[in-house]
Structure 1
Amino acid sequence: MKLLFVEPAICLSAFALTLTSPLTTQYVYRRIWEATSNYSMASGSNASECEKNKSSPIFLSQEEVQKKVSLFSMQMDISGLIPGLVSTFILLSYSDRQGRKFPLILSSVGALASSVWLCLLSYFNFPFQLLIASTFIFALCGNSTTFLGASFAYIVDQCKEQKQRTIRIAIIDFLLGLVTGLTGLSSGYFIRELGFVWSFLIITMVLTVNLMYILFFLDDSVKESSSQNVSMSCSEGFKNLFYQTYMLFKNASGNRRSLLCLLLFTMITYFFVIIGISPIFILYELDSPLCWNEVFIGYGSALGSISFLSSFLGIWFFSYCIEDIHMAFIGILTTMAGMALTAFAKTTLMMFLVRLPFLFTVVPLSVLRSMMSKVVDSTEQGTLFACIAFLETLGGVTAVSTFNGIYAATVAWYPGFTFLLSAGLLLIPVISLCVVRCIGWKEGSYVLLIQEESREDTSNR
């Protein structure tokens, strides 16, 4: 019996990917410490070493390890940039003809292969530089952006009514927040109690179950096209998506085109900062003076994941009293305050408290997507979100690489500089939103404008 529920696959994938990130970072940190430092870690310990005394020679080695981990992370992300862009772009557009299961299966196979490679790497103690191969394989098969994009498209295919679609997507946001929060909370205990090998093995088992569910239990929401169309899609799909994206902007009126470009620019610049700074949190917490162990890092990751839930509740509450653009302002400004406070967090209590301003971090991303969907026609929604997915993949990898490079260059003299820089960069989307407000954004006005333009096009024909 085939099911039309992609939610179990999303939850299993979210658990695996959320657990993989902190495990990989701390595994690389430990391996680079052992490779470059003259000071060995405690025997049988799974924790990372940290020295708070700046006059200690261990402290100097610690700073060098921080730089090398950050630069290696940048190399890993760059290795997956090109294959990730190509696979995301092709697979998501290809799914309109070939079906949604194809990108779900392929990205799941890539994640499973990457996890198996991590197991072998940690068990046989292979050179950690080979981690770059797992990043490349995962990106080549379609990364997490591909999986989530196909999942949301799968849900949209089933929901003919707007209200039903909103509820299903809201449920996904809730589940993602719940799963990532609980996984982040437990990640430290996985490392402490099981070590890296067994933790990576558990991730592999979860991804195997996920792949089995998609293959044998999940039905496809889109029926495959005829063989002729399938053969044409491989050669023409890439060109068609470029052409559709071009027409998305060409067909819009001048005011609507300007608004769409501004909203897209606002979302991508905000996304760039948020994604780029995310992995820096773990390195910052491992370093002096915080010197967090794996359990505290898990607590921090869990608090960060709560933003999915709090942002959803914030949107639900604020939508009754303020406009979308004001919700976006609130989310960006509170995130900016959180970044600035993090740069000066020197104690564990303070580092936990600075997570509070990040409660609405996800709000601008959701709201800006909603605002953009209101300024394009219903027949252009797929092209719009394919364009967004492409820019998110490009911006995400570029951001992580950039911020890792900046952190490596500044960690020796001021580790919090990257967070101050992030707070300053968030002024860009704020200014962009102010321009959107000045040119006359009003709720519902552009829906009427689209309808008028559609009627004009019909009459001209």
Structure 2
Amino acid sequence: MKILFVEPAVFLSAFAMSLTTPLTTQYVYRRIWEETGNHSFAFDSNISECEQNENSTLFAFQKEVQKKVSLFSLQMELSGLIPGLVSTFILLSSSDQRGRKFPMILSCIGILATNVWLCLLSYFAFPFQLLIASTFIGAFFGSFNTFWSACFAYVVDQCKEDKQKTIRIAIIDSMLGIVSGLTGLSSGYFIRQLGFVLSFLIIAVALAVNLVFILFFLGDSVKESSSQNVTMSCMESFKNQFQRTYMLFKNASGEQRSFLCLLLFTMVIYFFVIIGIFPVFILYELGSPLCWNEVLIGYGSALDSVSFFSSFLGIWLFSYCMEDIYIAFIGIFTTMAGIVVTAFAKTTLMMFLVRVLFFFLIAPLSVLRSMMSRVVRSTEQGTLFACIAFLETLGGVIAISAFNGIYSATVAWYPGFVFLLSAGILLIPVINLCAAKYISWNEGSYAVLAQREPREDTSGR
């Protein structure tokens, strides 16, 4: 008998994602350091390779390395943009007929293949530029974004009450954060004690176990449609999924459509800032004046997990006394404060304390997903989360590319500029939520679309 709990898959994939990101960034950083300079990186040093004297040659060299790493990260993200967008949209939209396991399996295969390549690349010391090719190929199978969205849709399928949806989504978000934090805490020790090769191998093993679990032990919350045309061409499939997405908005009333679009735009902009700015944290912490080593970076990542747990607690408590939209406001304003303070953080203690201001970081994402899921019918959840994942994938790639590019251009004269800019961008979600509140919606209106009569079939049959 198969189980209907997706949490084990979330746990293993969160472990893989949270360990892959810092390992890949630091691996590229060290490879570029060694290829740019005339000496090797001090792998076993108890202090970071960091010079704080702005007049020294090493200081200028560090800034040059940071600039190259930032630009290479931009290239990697851009390489997977188009295939990632297409695969995410098709896989998640088709999950309404094929089942939620379908995108989970394919995205897990793609992520596993990428990590196996990382293991081989670090073992044989292949040119690190080949990472761009692996990112491009892996994106065809779907990314972590595709996997998470499939998990959210899987959870929503099993929830009947509005509050239950919000809590379950918050649980998944908090689990992602807690696992990521604990893994981030150990990432520095993985590098020091095991090296990059064994660390990437452990990630690959975890992903393989996850794939086995999904294939053989996880039940599907949506049964595969027996009427699905398995001989449909790729172009026909894409056209069919696009039409389903079009009908999702076309059949809504003007107020409902405006409400849904506002929530989507709010979530994408907030996601854009969060995804774009936090990878810069590692580069900011590696450079002067902080000069963190891999262990301190791991501690910082571990503290980030507090925000996921506190976000869950906040949602759980505040859901009894306030509407979801006010929870989103609280999360956005506290995040803005944390990012602004980061721009002026010059000491290790301050960088640790600034994490406290991110205590409600994930709450806006959780409540916005829940609010949008109530506006559509149960048979449209896959299409909705396909839209969300599509926009998140697009926004995420653009964000990482943009913020890395901005940091690369401004790190020499003011490293904190990118943080001030991102805090300013967060004013857009605030304005959007004010507009959503202004159009006079109420809790009972969320389910209006879901209670409509069944639509005409949009598959063209």
Aligned partner of 2:371: which letter? M
Is the partner of 1:346 in helix, strand or coil?
Answer: coil
Report the aligned-residue RMSD.
2.5
Whether 2:22 is the aligned partner of 1:53: answer no
In the TM superposition, what is the alpha-carbon distance from 1:228 to its structure 2 partner?
6.0
- The amino acid that maps onto 1:150 is A
SS of corresponding position for 1:232: coil
2:81 partner letter: L
Structure 1 counterpart of 2:147: 147
Aligned to 1:10: 10
Is the partner of 2:231 in helix, strand or coil? helix
Structure 2 counterpart of 1:122, one-letter code: S
Q: Which residue of 1 aligns with 2:321?
A: 321
What is the match of residue 115 of structure 1? 115
Q: Does 1:254 align with 2:288?
A: no
Q: Is the 8 A contact 1:93 1:237 kept in 2?
A: no
Give the direction of change, closer, same or farther, for the CA distance of 1:108–1:47 in structure 2 (3 Å limit).
Answer: farther
Residue 338 of structure 2: aligned partner: 338
Q: What does the per-residue CA deviation read over 1:288-325, in whole Å, with 9 as the maximum and x for residues that have no partner?
A: 00000101101111112222111111111111222222
**TM-score, with length taken from structure 2:** 0.92
**How far did 1:366 drift?**
1.4
- Please give the alpha-carbon distance, in whole angstroms, between the structure 2 residues aligned to 1:256 and 1:19: 40
- Matches of 1:161 and 1:423 in 2, distance apart? 34
1:336-360 Cα offsets, whole Å, 9 max, x none, are: 1111100000000000111111111
Q: Output the CA distance in 1 between the equivalents of 2:284 and 2:121.
A: 25
Counterpart residue type for residue 142 of structure 1: G
Greater helix content: 1
CA-CA distance at 1:100 after TM superposition: 2.8
Aligned residue number for residue 66 of structure 1: 66
Deviations 1:56-111 (A, max 9, x none): 10000000001000000000000111111111111112223333333222211111
The CA deviation string for residues 371-423 of structure 1, in whole angstroms up to 9 with x for no partner, is 33344455544332221111111111111111111110000000010000001
Structure 1 158/250 Cα, relative in aligned 2: closer, same or farther at 3 Å?
closer
The 1:311–1:164 alpha-carbon spacing in structure 2 relative to 1, beyond 3 Å, is closer
Are 1:84 and 2:53 counterparts? no
Q: Would the alpha carbon gap of residues 215 and 79 (structure 1) be closer, same or farther in structure 2, given more than 3 Å must change? A: same
Secondary structure of the 2:4 match is: coil
Specify the alignment match of 2:203 in structure 1: 203
Aligned to 2:28: 28
CA shift, 1:173, in A, is 2.9
The 2-side partners of 1:352 and 1:426 are apart by 22
**Counterpart secondary structure, 2:292:** coil
* Percent of residue pairs identical: 74
How do 1:288-307 residues align onto structure 2 when only pairs under 5 Å count? 288-307=288-307
CA contact (8 A) 2:157 2:378 kept: no
Structure 1 range deviating more: 119-128 or 208-217: 208-217
How far off its partner does 1:116 sit?
Answer: 1.1
Q: Hey, what's the Cα distance between the residues in 1 that align with 2:322 and 2:4?
A: 35
Matched, 1:369 2:369: yes
2:459 alignment partner in structure 1: none
- CA drift of 1:229 comes to 2.1
Structure 2 residues not aligned, in runs of 5+: 457-461
In the superposition, relative to structure 1, how do residues 283 and 397 fare at CA in structure 2: closer, same or farther (>3 Å)? Answer: same
Shift of 1:27: 0.7
**Offset, 1:230:** 1.9
Q: Residue 16 of structure 2 aligns to which amino acid in structure 1? A: A
With 409-418 and 144-153 compared, the bigger mean Cα shift is at: 144-153
CA deviations 1:4-35 (Å, max 9, x no partner) are 33221221111011101000001111110111
User: Do the aligned residues in 1 keep the contact of 2:375 with 2:447 (CA within 8 Å)?
Assistant: no
2: distance between equivalents of 1:437 and 1:164? 22
Cα distance, 1:233–1:279 mapped onto 2, change above 3 Å: same
**Deviation of the 1:233 alpha carbon:** 7.3
Report how far residue 275 of structure 1 moved: 0.8
Q: How far does residue 41 in structure 1 lie from its aligned partner after superposition?
A: 2.6
Measure, in 2, the Cα distance between the counterparts of 1:215 and 1:382.
19
The within-5 A match list for 1:356-395 is 356-395=356-395
Q: Name whichever of 98-107 and 334-343 sits farther off.
A: 98-107
Report what 1:97 is aligned to: 97
By how many angstroms is 1:266 displaced? 1.3
1:403 counterpart residue number: 403
Query: Relative to structure 1, is the Cα distance of residues 450 and 45 closer, same or farther in structure 2, using a 3 angstrom cutoff?
Result: same
With 397-406 and 90-99 compared, the bigger mean Cα shift is at: 90-99
